[in-house]
Structure 1
Amino acid sequence: MHLEEKRLQMELEGKRMQAVLEQTRLDLEQKRLDLRFDLEQKRLELRIDWDQEMEQQRMEMQNRLRTVGASVAIEHHGGFGLPSDSESEVEDDQAVASSPPSPPSPRSHESLSDVEWPEMDAWSTGVSIASTPRSPDPEQQQGHD
């Protein structure tokens, strides 16, 4: 009988150990799922932060470009609606604008397809940047004073 009790006790201990192992496996699986969820959540948060940072930088660059563009336009048009420094600038610009651009000459190691050619849109449409008024007409300005 003593051996039978020992066998039953060992069998019971084996089943208890299997239950402990199964519970440990379930606990580890739950921990793995929790960690995976946390990782995915962190990735999502980082992606959102990254997208917001990139959008912020894009907006800052646009603002800088607008600022630079405005200051270039102010310089190009002779200030805030004031007449430009010299009247000959307008004539020079109009003379340059009326002739098509000369193509750049290729360097000895470049083929013609490697050369960057100027855009022809302004000439093909007949619109010239230089033909737009740079400043108000001085005669009209005097009439309003």
Structure 2
Amino acid sequence: MTGSAGNDTRPRPLPRAAFALFRAMPTRWMDNDVYGHVNNVVYYSYFDTAVNAFLVENGLLDIAGSDIVGLVAETGCSYFESVAFPDALETGLAVTRLGRSSVTYRIGIFREGAPRTAAQGHFVHVYVTRETGRPAAIPDPVRSALATLLITDS
């Protein structure tokens, strides 16, 4: 997610083509802060919702019963323009790295229908056994589903 102009390595807003899947993400009144825009920490909630909704909707995560679960090891976000309630948003989701026990997601926050991200970031899950907390191989059904989101242009 770096720029290519000279030594400028600041992230640039990404286009929709940098993402494999989109979902509606409504803003809520409580998302706004005293400055009248969505507070920075709320974006991480959007990221978490985009990733985990994909896993739950595809039958890959039983929140209470999965023996192997993905724990967040790292997140980051770059902001390009403010969004605020009642904006209609969309999240873009892609996988940029699929390792043995970890996966790196790229998540974009778009105003509904916008060609480029208003904010974008990454989210790393490390898969562990629930009982021991030790790293575990990503289960094959999860790996197969994540592979459908893999974009290698990063």
Instruction: Give TM-score, length-normalised by structure 2.
Output: 0.19
More helix by share: 1
Larger radius of gyration: 1
- Comparing both chains, which one has the higher relative contact order based on Cα–Cα distances under 8 Å and sequence gaps of 6 or more? 2
Instruction: Give TM-score, length-normalised by structure 1.
Output: 0.20
More strand by share: 2
